[in-house]
Structure 1
Amino acid sequence: MIMDQYRNKCVTADEAVKVIKDGDWVEFGWGASYAGLLAEAIDKRRDELHDVNLRGGVILKPLPFIENDPEGEHFTWNSMHLSGYERKLAAKGLAYYIPIKYSEVPRYIRENCRTDVVAIQVAPMDEYGYFNFGVSISHYAAVIEMARTVIVEVNEDMPKVHGGYEHTVHISQVDYIVEAGRCGLPTLPSAAPSEIDKMIADHVLSELMDGACIQLGIGGMPNALGKMIADSDLKDLGIHTEMLVDGFVDMVEAGRVTGLKKNIDKGRMAYSFAAGSPKLYDFMHDNPSIAAYPVDYTNNPFIAAQIDGLISINSAVEIDLSGQVCSETAGPKIISGSGGQLDFVEGAYNSKGGKSFICLPSTFTDKAGTLHSRIKGMMTLGSVITDTRAGVQYVVTEYGKVNLKGMSSWQRAEALISIAHPDFRDELVAEAKELKIWRKKNK
């Protein structure tokens, strides 16, 4: 019976995308979940379609329907979190950002966003008629619930992961099936940590304790911290994160992770999407220690706060002397998005024994070779505030860490200047004086 349904719904990619109409909104791809055959088939219909909006995020491979429509006459790409590739599209006016609080995205889908067609990649169907979402659970169940038509592209290389919930879709909810065979998965190379990344990670490592539950972001510093945790003598660590990355695999293989101290999902690693190396994808396949969840579970601050000792580690672009954090733009130029940073800043702080860390190098060098401080008197004009000053707990640079909770304006200025690059401290003191947040008795 199930196989009869399967055969009846199997079509070519070209046939499947005929359901897309002018003006439709199409959910397409998140992270390493990328339906390549459907992407090419959508592009083939370019000349006959108009005003089609496609939505996704953290895209790791080129989007042919956008690349081949440079004037945006037929397709528009809308991203909930820009990858490096999407950032380049945005700079050309070919991609647009949807501001999100990641934990709320399934609700946006159900209440605020239009979804006409879903075109996503899945693992092969099991004997019960379920297709597994694999590397991207995120908000897929919500878009399938709301869509007019659901197309799945079956990738035999997609890992089948354990739930959680909402990590599968039943064939009865699927309209068309496109078989892609073994087509691999996009990889996200781990950025090699710099010496500064390692220094920052070392400051965070000193705050970790046995039994802590870890959330890591992506990038050189989190990657460095993952390796340092793997090389440490910490034990019984847990994992609860929106994004599963290679650093977690290093920690597990080193014997640092058991999850046995977790208040919820005991003994299991909760995540919502994953991107990394083939080693990560192999680790995920049929691994009973994995718990795949929609993002309104993993990132819900109220759920995360139930886990004792939750440690959240995220990066930032800049911070001002009041403690406001920008993690998504450089002035008005968009870099990525807010993602789930605010979710975990709140969740970790409200966890019993939990701690939230915002990590950033003290400086950056522009294209002209000029050094700039990432700690500012005031935010760069146009910068978007990701975390409010009231929400931020620990801030870490290579020069140390400070806990801003409970500090007045002058204390915050003093603390943040103390972890700024020495070359900029006098300048920052002068700015603090001008802003009336520097006490005469300050050192």
Structure 2
Amino acid sequence: MLSVVVTAVLLPAVPSAALAKAGTTYYVDSKAGDDSAEGTSAAAPWKSLDMVNAADLKPGDAISFKRGSSFTGPLTLAAKGTAAQPIVVRTHGRGTLPKISGTGDDDCVMISGNHWRVSGLRASGCRWAGFQIDGDNNELSGVQADRNVTGVYVTPSGSRNTIRASILTDNNRMSVNDQGGDDDSGAFGVLLNGDDNVVTGNTIMGSYAKSKDYGTDGAAVEIFNGDRNLITHNTARNNETFTELGARKGKTATGNIFAFNVVTSTRSRGSFLITRGSRHVVGPVKGTIAVHNSVYLPARDTIGWSCHDGCSPSILKLRNNAILVGGEAGWEDGQGADEAGGVYKSRTARFKLGPKSVKADPLFTSRTDLRPRTGSPVFDRGVALTHSWYGGKAFAKDMAGKPLTGTPDAGAYQG
């Protein structure tokens, strides 16, 4: 695992009522545990995931994994907590995060229950997903996932879940990688098939793999058949694309929001956002909003955003973004996207600038620090927006946690 620093972001706190009532805590230690022990104290822990999977867990219960432990999955979290009494997974002791692997043949962490609060686990080298969420109202926080097809997978049945303050690194394996058919798929930091989920405050790196159809493929956050998901305040580095959206015919991927994300890459190709109109086989993708994102992709084979095969304002709205790419700043066909308040620098561009938008260098501090320097055209460039553009009042803060006031600046940081 790479050592990274996660940018501090002010995120909505878990309501105190959700942590007020405690039940039984079960302890697990792969080195010193014993499955014949009671498991209800750190001095007499269980040894294996089998005991956790078989436990009759109740709302308010907790599972505490000893740091430095290592297990082979799956860990199945099927019990149901409540909003007032979630079931908690946490760690104790010192050392590295407890690691759950799949040795390529098994799943790692499977959450089919509701109202789980899972923190401090690492899922590595799993069959498909590091963390798979089938249930509702669950939260992953402070977890790590690496060397999977997808770090976190929210299935079509998963809704109102939160993935926050986590590190998803080098999830760089393909699930489909065959010659022809335009169907290669994989290398996702987060894959969302469900609705109304929040992905916030995470660091997502290295979602990038060789593809027989496309040369390379991967996405920090992929949305397919998922509606009203909020992707906000994430740091993305060296992924193939930040986000790509699609839906099968008869399905939808409507109303997804991307706000205050910082996207950088040193790779020879890459993109920020790819979406489609009705003429595409996985279109139309309606109602996507991209607002206050900062993007730096200096290579020539790069694109800021693409809205193709029947683009229109109903497909994509962009506000107050700061985008510097070595390739194409944006691409639209049809009626075009609804764009305003942006700052763009690129070699080419195929879209019409909207109100207050300008072609100019946003003057980022560096290739990885996208705070604007003195004299940047992003200052006071943005257009005023209501909180609904950001997913609600709780998220109307910049990447550093500064509230938006007055005339906003373009990009993820406010001056």
TM-score scaled by length of structure 1: 0.28
Structure of higher RCO (CA pairs closer than 8 Å, 6+ residues apart): 1
Bigger helix fraction? 1
Q: Which structure has the greater CA radius of gyration?
A: 1
Bigger strand fraction? 2
TM-score scaled by length of structure 2: 0.29
